[in-house]
Amino acid sequence: MTIRLYDTKAQALQDFVPLVEGQVGIYVCGPTVQSSPHIGHLRSALVYDLWRRWLTYRGFTVTLVRNVTDIDDKILANASESEEWWALAYRTELEFTDGYRQLGILAPTYEPRATASVTEMQALIARLIDSGHAYPAADESGDVYFDTASWPAYGELTRQKPQNMEAATDADPRGKRAPQDFALWKGWKSTEPASAAWVSPWGAGRPGWHIECSAMSSRYLGPQFDIHGGGLDLRFPHHENEIAQSTAAGDAFANHWVHNGLVNVNGQKMSKSLGNSIFASEFLDQARPLVVRYYLGSAHYRSTIDYHDGALLEAEAALDRIETFLDRASRRLEDTRFAGSGAPVLPVDFSAAMDDDLAIPQALAVLHDRVRAGNAALDDEDLGTSAQIRGEVTAMTEVLGINPHSPEWRSRTLAPADRALASLVERLIEDRETARGARDFAAADRIRDELAAAGITVEDSPNGTHWTIEP
């Protein structure tokens, strides 16, 4: 068994060998909690949830750290007289947490807030100043910058030369030696709230964005760890700057860099300026969270997802085929000698796809192929094969976090419209059973036809009558 992943820094597929046998440390750049989450945030968190689940299945003990950036220029800009910056940050953080929870994304091992690690950030800045890779601004503003010219490897992640890079825009350029130098510490300004400043050797202020992740990753995972993840849009300048400041301070930092693709809407990049952002709460209102999870996790994690009208309906239909098979198999195998058989074993070709840089599209192809084979076995009354395939399908969906029979999803209550539909259909089925008992087969057939016309399939079995909505 060898897991391969695409290392963005090496720009190649590499065999994954953990630093410590049997253990994996992953740091993921979490949200800057300035405003409500959109579907791109959900997709990114889901990608690393899938990596974590697969690595765990392969026997590793995974420590996943996903930070919360709760102090930042944009957070301060979005605050108001009625809602201070820290209150805005906390309220928004809860929105992110709720979105993750609804999608069944496992809670990270640690979820540090930036404001809780300012001491560690200051210590890292001091190390960089002492080693000649950072400098306080000459204008006595209290700003501290990373000296990009002092680090020849700067630009190694995105393979850029500093002279070709855009100027860093994260602080006032007056105190910089070079336009590419980026802020490690930002001196307090009179236009900012006093609560957004910490005492430091360079004057009151707050940390720059990039230094936050370097400090938090080393605090929770050590100076060297296995995998650093995040969205593709974070490669530059955020991750480029993380590498520079951490390695310049003497830390080996991340062994592998993994980046997930973004989400477009109807062929266009999602952005506020285009007015096409889809917020997580809106998206989760359009379909069952299980369907949303299936949809956002179905593409290869490095690819761009292009959301379009009807995409969730397609995901619903695909998931319904899986759910219908599992329901059908459970009903047919009930009260037979195969009821408890069918060990949850992953097919070899499913595992091979997951080991190959988390190739979920290929893994889903295996899953749906087994569903088709399982339905054929049920049609042929081959109960032994049906039980075996049920076990395989259960195992695959469990690894992907989309098992509709798991307590996690079974415990979710139906939406009001779904409860109303279920009540009406079950009442009609009772009427049909009464008609059949009275040998009024014309009435029974009429009810069945009415349900079929509404897209509802009725299935009679030795274990009773069951209904499903046709995809």
Number of residues assigned to the chain: 471
pTM: 0.87
Query: CA-based diameter of the chain, in Å?
Result: 95
DSSP 279: B
Please report which helix (H) or strand (E) contains residue 7, including its range.
strand 4-7
Q: What is the mean pLDDT of residues 64-74?
A: 97
Cis, bond preceding 237 (omega within 30 deg of 0): yes
Are 455 and 448 in contact by the 8 Å Cβ rule? The answer is no
Q: What is the pLDDT of residues 333-385, one digit of tens each?
A: 988 888 877 788 999 999 999 999 999 999 999 999 999 999 999 999 999 99
Are 37 and 43 in contact by the 8 Å Cβ rule? The answer is no
**Residues with Cβ < 8 Å from 438, sequence gap 6 or more?**
none
Ordered structural domains, the chain, with CATH: 4-260 (3.40.50.620), 309-410 (1.20.120.640), 416-469 (no CATH)
462 Rama sector, left if φ>0, alpha if ψ -120 to 50, beta otherwise: alpha
SS3 at position 305? strand
Is the per-residue pLDDT at 114 higher than 60? yes
* Per-chain mean pLDDT for the chain: 92
Q: Shortest CA distance to 336 belongs to which of 467, 429, 461, 468?
A: 461
A 10 A CB-CB count for 337 gives 10
Instruction: Using the structure block, give the residue that is written with the tokens 């290869």.
Output: 300
A 10 A CB-CB count for 119 gives 12
Is the per-residue pLDDT at 15 higher than 60? yes
Range of lowest pLDDT (284-293, 360-369, 385-394, 440-449): 440-449
Q: Please, what is the Cα angle at 417 between 414 and 421, to 5 degrees?
A: 90
Write down the pLDDT at residue 466. 64
A 10 A CB-CB count for 137 gives 24
A 10 A CB-CB count for 358 gives 24
Burial zone of 414 (CB within 10 Å; 0-12 exposed, 13-18 middle, 19+ buried) = exposed
Is the per-residue pLDDT at 419 higher than 90? no
Burial zone of 274 (CB within 10 Å; 0-12 exposed, 13-18 middle, 19+ buried) = exposed
Q: How far is the CA of 458 from the CAs of 321, 445, 461, in angstroms?
A: 16, 11, 10
Q: How confident is the model at residue 130 (pLDDT cuts 50, 70, 90)?
A: very high
Q: What is the mean pLDDT of residues 393-410?
A: 92
Range of lowest pLDDT (36-45, 53-62, 168-177): 168-177
Q: What is the mean pLDDT of residues 395-421?
A: 78
Is the per-residue pLDDT at 417 higher than 80? no
Write down the pLDDT at residue 413. 46
User: How far, in Å, CA of 465 to CA of 431, rounded?
Assistant: 12
